Chain A
Amino acid sequence: QQQVKQSPQSLIVQKGGIPIINCAYENTAFDYFPWYQQFPGKGPALLIAIRPDVSEKKEGRFTISFNKSAKQFSLHIMDSQPGDSATYFCAASKDSSYKLIFGSGTRLLVRP
């Protein structure tokens, strides 16, 4: 049973556009929601993360929006660049567990 559902599977935007990737979770005990970024030939790397006590977190051009009542969170990339082309994974975990539950991934292509 997939506990974190991610959409879309793939996304193409023009440079400067604002791609949005959405994730929904089922387990209300989750209290940590990271996003990992993976470039071709590399392992995933932590991009940004949020706890449910805030509704938004920004780091540079990357923003997580969090809706606790809807059990959804999303990643927005402002002024997207071709160098942002990568696969993005959302994930969720709870403090009492070491496990990260990953979404299925979104392959983003930013055209020049």
Chain B
Amino acid sequence: DVKVTQSSRYLVKRTGEKVFLECVQDMDHENMFWYRQDPGLGLRLIYFSYDVKMKEKGDIPEGYSVSREKKERFSLILESASTNQTSMYLCASQPAGLSYNEQFFGPGTRLTVL
């Protein structure tokens, strides 16, 4: 069974704080993703990584950065949290190759920025 774990289920931070969201997968997948999920907007891709130290911007990268130092771990960083970044954040992993490969999601981190 593929397992994708996220460091926190719930997180409350203050405006301006630096926030780290951690994601770990145990299936040796090459691809990892960070999405945010908002009601009525579905899932929107923030960043994608296809290898260690490799990353690509998704559709909404502004205000975020990522780090992938090890294959199994993909971190999302909010450099200076703002209230409009209050959201559910989902991490996913996927084997390399065709986009048809299933993406496996973690349970999500619900972040509230006050």
**CB within 8 Å of B: which residues of A?**
6, 9, 32, 34, 41-46, 49, 51, 89, 93-100, 102-105
Contacts and interface: CB of A to CB of B under 8 A. Distances in A.
Contacts of A93: 99-100
B48 to A, nearest CB: 6
Contact of A95 (B42, B94, B98): B98
A24 to B, nearest CB: 14
A109 to B, nearest CB: 15
Contact of B99 (A41, A46, A99, A105): A99
Interface stretch (B60-68, B69-77, B104-112): B104-112
13 contacts: A42-B108, A43-B92, A43-B106, A43-B107, A45-B104, A89-B42, A93-B99, A93-B100, A94-B99, A95-B98, A98-B99, A102-B44, A105-B42
Interface residues on B, range: 20 to 34
B103 A46 contact: yes
Contacts of B40: 9, 104-105
Nearest to B99: A93
Interface of B: 4, 31, 39-45, 48, 50, 58, 90, 92, 94, 98-100, 102-108
A26 to B, nearest CB: 15
A98 B31 contact: yes
Contacts of A97: 99
B103 A89 contact: no
Contacts of A102: 42-44
